[in-house]
Amino acid sequence: MTHASLHWFKSSYSADGGQCVEVAADLVASHGMVPVRDSKIQSGPVLALPATSFSAFVAGIKAGGFPA
C-alpha cells in the first residue's frame, strides 16, 4: 500500500488554510501504525506513529495537555 492509496482525513475542527495535519487509519488494524502528514504538503514526508502513541497524543490534546 502506498501513501497515495491511503484514505487521508483531517479533523472536522480544521479550517481551510490552517495549520493542519492529516491522518490515515488504514494501517491501524494490519500494522498498528497511524500515518500522519502535513495537509499543505501532501506529497511530502509521512510520519508513521504506533497506534498506541497516537492514541495517547490525542488523549493528551483532549485533556488540555497542549495549550495553544
pTM (global) more than 0.85: no
The CA-based angle 56-59-60, given to 5 degrees, is 85
> Given this model, what pLDDT does residue 17 score?
63
* pLDDT band, very low/low/confident/very high, at 11 (cuts 50, 70, 90): confident
> Given this model, what pLDDT does residue 2 score?
59
Give per-residue pLDDT as tens, 17-55. 667 889 998 888 889 999 999 988 888 899 999 999 999
Mean pLDDT of 44-67: 92
- Helices H / strands E in the chain, number of each: 2, 4
Cell numbers linked to 22: 492529516
